[in-house]
Amino acid sequence: MGTSSSARRNRFPLILLATVATGLGVYLFTLFFAARLSEGPHTSFLKIPAVALWALLAYFTVRLVNAALFDFAFRIRRGYEAPTLVRNIFTLVIFTVLFVLIFKWFYSEINLGALFTTSAIFGVIIGLALQDTLGNFFSGISLQADRPFQIGDVIVVSQQKHTGVVEGITWRAIKIRTFQNHIVLVSNSNAAKEAIEVAPRDNLNARLIFFSTVYTDSPAKTIHVVREAVRDADNVSEKITPIVRIRNLGESSIEWEIKYWLEDYAKYNDTDALVRQRTWYALRRNGLTFAFPTRTLHLERKVTARPTTAEDEIADRLSAVDVFAPLSTDELRQLAMATVGHVFAPGETLIRAGDEGSSMFVVHNGRVQVQLTESGKSRPVAVLSEGNFFGEMALFTGEPRTASVVALEETEVLEIGHAAMKHLFETNPSLVESISWTIAERRAGLAASAEQATPNSLAESAGLLTSIKRFFGLR
């Protein structure tokens, strides 16, 4: 496109020279034959070269005006190249008018209009012969008027058959350069009938890329990892963050789509490939796995107490929980065996205030937020992370849940039920005491947060101790 416009500009002096030369020719011709032209029998013979010379002058003048108007004025004012079709129509119309005027000037006795209008057969023949051409011509005009796309836009025509960058629109066809560097000409009348998909050059156009992962991979982690890998790839627009989302829970895999926006849509093949490549490396680095189109048979076991973590690891985690400090290694192992692991997505609610509850939870991975709900609005009370526990209040007192707990990120928790705790209390009386302290402190925190009077923690804890013992049937 750039080369063709500079080539046009280079032609400008040539046209100028031709115009001046023809003008000079006309001048000299008129000078020499002026007297002869207006008299005598040779006149009509001499008129032929005169008409030809004038017509030539008219042609070059029109070309000159065309070049001046469209190559310079139009480009500067509008910022883009004038369509070839408009230029051609301009040349054709002005030249025809000038030619008719010249002809009439020399042959005033011949009626040109009558020549065309009286010949009906001539009209029919021309009409039939030019049916397609005229169809293309008028479709071309409507395309120009409508301006659904411009030179440099990527378009898809004929139901995905032709995709490429628009190089030009002539009176006959749209010229597309495909991504195999071929030229495809779609006739204007065909283009007018087809649905055309346009990706304008100055628009942020998006692409979708698909991939699948195995079911054991965490969705939250996959989203984070892939999004970060894609967002700084070349030609991926920084204006909109790419979106990574689950499009289907397939038979044997989680099916994903990446939606990203491009700076230059014409390079989408390369960018798609780069995005896929980045995804591959990112998944590999982060221990995530592409799903093969295979069928995996899972034999169902009766109780899968813990899908994601091993017992030792859990015992380790429990030993780091402050209230479980007095427990022996054996007791910790037993407790570990009695826990059930659950994974929650960011934003999911683990516990809802007011619900009944008969278990407590230890945060194994991730973070949760404890929230109070007041007049429809949630207010954060505390953030708990790995090694912290929650849900003990309802478990130990039998009262409804005092607050809601929501995952701030992907979070794995270990659930400990009533029976497991009762067993521990019987062998570790000091455990009841330390837990009742925590409960008393948290109650104080809740009260402060709800702007209630802070109760006396010591008295509170003593009261709690008794009620927990009573609730668990301990002496």
* Pair 402, 394: CB distance under 8 Å: yes
CA–CA gap between residue 157 and residue 80 (Å, rounded)? 23
Q: Where are the alpha helices (DSSP H) in 38-176?
A: 43-66, 75-78, 84-106, 112-117, 120-129, 131-146
Least separation in angstroms between CB 313 and ligand CMP = 23
Q: Which stretch binds ligand CMP (CB under 6 A): 70-78, 200-208, 302-310, 391-399?
A: 391-399
Which range, of 28-36, 54-62, 266-274, 384-392, touches ligand CMP by CB under 6 A?
Answer: 384-392
- Which single residue is written with the structure tokens 């346009």? 198
Pick 133 or 373: Cβ nearer ligand CMP: 373
Minimum CB distance to ligand CMP smaller for 155 or for 405: 405
In the bound state, the residue with its beta carbon closest to ligand CMP is 445
Cβ atoms < 10 Å from Cβ of 340: 16
- 70 belongs to the binding site for ligand CMP (CB under 6 A): no
Q: Which of 318, 322, 335 is nearest to 422 (CA)?
A: 335
Q: Which of 139, 143, 178, 181 is nearest to 161 (CA)?
A: 178
User: Phi and psi dihedrals of 374, rounded to 5?
Assistant: -125, 125
Please pick, from the candidates 136, 222, 271, 402, the single residue that binds ligand CMP as defined by CB under 6 A. Answer: 402
Q: How far is the CB of 339 from ligand CMP (least distance, A)?
A: 16
Whether the CB-CB separation of 351 and 411 falls below 8 Å is answered with no
Span near ligand CMP by CB under 6 A; candidates 24-32, 42-50, 212-220, 401-409: 401-409
The one segment of 166-174, 194-202, 298-306, 392-400 that binds ligand CMP by CB under 6 A: 392-400
Q: How many residues does the chain have?
A: 475
Residue 314 contacts ligand CMP per CB under 6 A: no
Q: Which of 435, 355, 407 is nearest to 443 (CA)?
A: 435
Quick one: 258 or 351, whose CB is closer to ligand CMP?
Answer: 351
Encoded one letter per residue, x for contact with ligand CMP by CB under 6 A and - for no contact, window 136-155 reads --------------------
Closest CB to ligand CMP among 19 and 402? 402
Chain residues 341-370 in contact with ligand CMP, contact rule CB under 6 A: 351, 357, 370
Q: In whole angstroms, give the CA distance from residue 121 to residue 118.
A: 9
Q: Does 59 bind ligand CMP (CB under 6 A)?
A: no
Residue placing its CB nearer to ligand CMP in the complex, 170 or 397: 397
Of 234 and 355, the one with the shorter C-beta distance to ligand CMP is: 355
Q: How many other C-beta atoms lie within 10 A of the C-beta of residue 378? A: 14
Asked if residue 382 binds ligand CMP (CB under 6 A), the reply is yes
DSSP state of 174: E
In the set 70, 344, 390, 425, which binds ligand CMP (CB under 6 A)?
390
Cα–Cα distance between 59 and 434 in angstroms, integer? 103
Give CA–CA dist 326/319, Å, rounded: 9
- What string marks each residue from 422 to 451 as x (binds ligand CMP by CB under 6 A) or -? --------------------x--xx-----
Structure tokens at 143: 């395309």
Q: Please report, as ranges, the residues that interact with ligand CMP according to CB under 6 A.
A: 351, 357, 370, 381-382, 390-394, 401-403, 405, 442, 445-446
